[in-house]
Amino acid sequence: MNRVRVAVLCSGGGTNLQAILDRAQAGGIPHGEIALVLTDNAGAYAIERAKAAGVEYLVVDKKQVPDRGEREALILAALKERGIGLVVLAGFMTILSDDFVKQYEMRIINVHPSLIPSFCGAGFYGLKVHEAALARGVKVTGATVHYVNEVCDGGPIIAQKAVLVEEGDTPKSLQLRVMREAEWVIFPAAVETVCKKLTGEEV
């Protein structure tokens, strides 16, 4: 079976990375191999998760390499060197340039903690998304996995899962429920869906 080499890019704790690693370990991503964890933050806990899973990790630290163009060049070189076929953004806090995205067209995916097109685009990340959802009074929110293109949160949607907003929710309690009930479910599944497509097999 053809397997796509996957790189997961993280900036922080890596909870979505962990969900992907767990699914892969359980045999749930047969068409993909998690080959690299790359972070732009030398203090990211994602590094510990990669070590525990026996996956190669690489740090291209923002503080060490403050120029975004230079960082992207280093990241791209690392991806090409390792024959990476799919790039997964799991809490990667740098918006990639159009040039970068074009090099991996329809081969970069991201998870966003809302039902796109609600509460997405520039400025909507992390707790801000859940704060906005609660401020608006929505009864249902969720998560979306989508392809990354030159428009922030604008690429084609791969998967969505709805999550109910509960009475008394805070941005933090809502964030946790969306992660548990939606992100950690659909993101690893989407990695397999896209890997299978990239191998040329029917989905």
Among 110-124, 157-171, 172-186, whose mean pLDDT is lowest? Answer: 110-124
Cα distance between residue 129 and residue 102, in whole Å: 27
Cα distance between residue 44 and residue 134, in whole Å: 29
The pLDDT score that the predictor gives to residue 83 is 97
Confidence of residue 159 (pLDDT cuts 50, 70, 90): very high
Burial bucket for residue 46 (CB in 10 Å: 0-12, 13-18, 19+): buried
pLDDT at 94: 86
Three-state SS at 132: helix
3-47 pLDDT per residue, tens: 999 999 999 999 999 999 999 999 999 999 999 999 999 999 999
- C-beta of residue 108 within 8 angstroms of C-beta of residue 89: yes
Question: What local confidence, expressed as pLDDT, does residue 1 receive?
Answer: 72
pLDDT band at 165; cut points 50, 70, 90: very high
Given a contact cutoff of 8 angstroms between Cβ atoms, the answer to whether 141 and 115 are in contact is yes
* pLDDT classification of 132: cutoffs 50, 70, 90: very high
The whole-model pTM stands at 0.95
How does residue 2 score in pLDDT terms, banded at 50, 70 and 90? confident
Element (H, E) at 158: strand 157-164
Catalytic residue set: 112
Q: Give the pLDDT of residue 64.
A: 94
Are 160 and 186 in contact, with CB atoms under 8 Å apart?
A: yes
Predicted confidence (pLDDT) at residue 202 exceeds the cutoff of 70 = no
Residue 67 has pLDDT above 90, yes or no: yes
Report the CATH architecture of 4-198.
3-Layer(aba) Sandwich (3.40)
Q: What is the pLDDT of residue 18?
A: 98
Give the tens place of pLDDT for each residue, 72-131.
Answer: 999 999 999 999 999 999 999 888 999 999 999 999 999 999 999 999 988 888 899 999
